[in-house]
Structure 1
């Protein structure tokens, strides 16, 4: 069986995890590639359809790859799942409880509802159980090779010897007021903390090498929401051996290394950061325990990044489940 991957060049790296396991996938009976002749199924990037074609233009077995920063499914993509020729829907992050795909949103995102008392908007296109079954998280965020080069394998001090207790780095001003205020709240709280050594890299004030070095010399990374729930920095910080304190994201699932699985790899705080200082205090109250937690997460992520057999099996199982929907 052959699957042709039709993705913009800018985003083909999102399939690095698939191509890393290409030989193992072949051993399981599937060929993956680009510009393949005679493919049994196409994987098409959602924007290729919504921006250049129409949902109705899909008339052969197709899996949609969603390039979206959020676990939610944007309104413009929702009609795609109604097309009977769409046999699968592949995401980078997804909602752990699939019922939430039909939950009301704010500004097309479920996580925005956690940041505002505004009434959420019911979705216009409601998915059936059969359509929800098509949605799977099957791309590996941690496998983007170029993204993690500066942090993977970098020699870092033991957690107890790291200079910064708490680190935040990132853009604060977004074109979504909810997210701007959310990030401003995190920075305001961190800037007001005097009992811990806090390093703030606001905006793009830290170059890539300086950022990577700072990450490797920090005990904690505080990670707010952006356009989506996850950030590249969540995975970078785990690779660097930091404890990640994350605005509650246990409702989000990732593949291969389920980074936001409740209680597993990151420490959750309230979405409004009302308990952020207390959560930081608790982590830093026992640095040895923090080091064990961060070390276990780092080892788990490294193992997932180096593993191929199970990843290939998961990908092939997804392809086979999708093909079984052809009528």
Structure 2
């Protein structure tokens, strides 16, 4: 039996919830596969008693500013000196913003999504995201306070980059966020369960397009895409936020859901859309790899799970028109996306696949 310790602040954010959710839900399956784990919210002597230590990046979020890089890195190094393997799990939203200062001090660095071309992490990207860099260079969009660059300086450190799992493996049904919040204060396993209901695409849908979204981001390069989409679609639909109940009802009655990038390429709207059975329209995702891969767009409706447009948005309106004109064909994409999502969050095979994936991560770093 391999013993894993996880240092985390717990269910303090949607990403933190999605990081811990599949581990806790699959606790018994993991034990059956030879893996036991303990969760720590602070560093104590007991944390050293393990084969592998997993560090949740959110644990350190505020500490970087309070204590500075040197002191935090020294603490991580102390952990690494006493434990066989220390894995840093970056649970932030995007393929970018690698916390490169950590790399020399950990065994491996896991991230929910990575750039397919890892060599790009050796380059500077404005805003520390490949798409914010794109909008900065192509449309001269500038942030009021440009982000400090976090590019990787040592090419050998690229070998430490690995993919963990993305934020899809949690409960995004109507009650999901409320049940997850309850678990934070009353940690009963009953509160952590995946949704069982999926709204079929075959149902009549009265709304052509839904695109509810926030646009108030502190960085102009992040919100630029969303503001442009809002401007393009303003004559045909409203994009302002509404109550969660009304929002999910709208998704279930929509043929298309447009889901732009935010702080990251992946947004929670993606998974709400899979549950609703709508066609998910995203900016091109071909630069990214993630697990599970819910984002397949090979221009083959038999396997595609999303439909995509270019980052400059020049083809977005045309794409929407094509989908609405030939909706019966594009509906296959919605069915594929929902079936793929259902596999991972609602089937025994999907649960066991996650456990195998997690076990392979652990095996990779045990001597």
State the TM-score, normalizing by the size of structure 2. 0.77
1:79 aligned onto 2:79: no
1:180 aligned onto 2:223: yes
1:56 aligns to what? 74
Aligned equivalents of 1:29, 1:101: Cα separation in 2 = 35
1:227 aligns to what? 263
Please state how far the C-alpha of 1:191 moved relative to its aligned partner.
1.6
Is the contact made by 2:127 and 2:149 (CA closer than 8 Å) also made in structure 1? no
Aligned equivalents of 2:215, 2:61: Cα separation in 1 = 30
> CA separation of 1:291/1:174 partners in 2, compared to 1, >3 Å: closer, same or farther?
same
Aligned equivalents of 1:321, 1:127: Cα separation in 2 = 22
1:126 aligned onto 2:161: no
Q: Secondary structure at the match of 1:228?
A: coil
2:24 aligns to what? 19
1:7 aligns to what? 8
Aligned equivalents of 1:255, 1:148: Cα separation in 2 = 21
Structure 2 regions of 5+ residues with no counterpart?
A: 41-45, 64-70, 177-194, 299-303
1:33 aligned onto 2:38: yes
2:162 aligns to what? 136
Task: Give the total of aligned pairs.
Answer: 310
Is the contact made by 1:90 and 1:137 (CA closer than 8 Å) also made in structure 2? yes
> CA separation of 1:185/1:123 partners in 2, compared to 1, >3 Å: closer, same or farther?
same
Is the contact made by 1:49 and 1:55 (CA closer than 8 Å) also made in structure 2? no
> CA separation of 1:232/1:242 partners in 2, compared to 1, >3 Å: closer, same or farther?
same
> CA separation of 1:62/1:209 partners in 2, compared to 1, >3 Å: closer, same or farther?
same
Aligned equivalents of 1:310, 1:212: Cα separation in 2 = 29
Is the contact made by 1:165 and 1:220 (CA closer than 8 Å) also made in structure 2? yes
Structure 1 regions of 5+ residues with no counterpart?
A: none
Aligned equivalents of 2:109, 2:329: Cα separation in 1 = 40
Please state how far the C-alpha of 1:277 moved relative to its aligned partner.
0.6
Is the contact made by 2:210 and 2:258 (CA closer than 8 Å) also made in structure 1? yes
Please state how far the C-alpha of 1:50 moved relative to its aligned partner.
6.1
1:270 aligned onto 2:290: no
1:303 aligned onto 2:343: yes
Aligned equivalents of 1:134, 1:239: Cα separation in 2 = 34
Q: Secondary structure at the match of 1:201?
A: coil
Is the contact made by 2:200 and 2:276 (CA closer than 8 Å) also made in structure 1? no
Q: Deviations over 1:98-153 (max 9, x none)?
A: 22322321112122122232599975532434x323222222422212x3345955
Aligned equivalents of 2:216, 2:61: Cα separation in 1 = 28
Please state how far the C-alpha of 1:207 moved relative to its aligned partner.
0.6
Is the contact made by 2:125 and 2:133 (CA closer than 8 Å) also made in structure 1? yes
1:251 aligns to what? 287
Higher RCO by CA contacts (8 Å cutoff, separation 6 or greater): 1
State the TM-score, normalizing by the size of structure 1. 0.86
1:201 aligns to what? 239
- Report the RMSD for the aligned CA atoms in angstroms: 2.5
Q: Secondary structure at the match of 2:93?
A: coil
Q: Which runs of 4+ in 1 moved over 6 A?
A: 119-122
Is the contact made by 2:165 and 2:291 (CA closer than 8 Å) also made in structure 1? yes
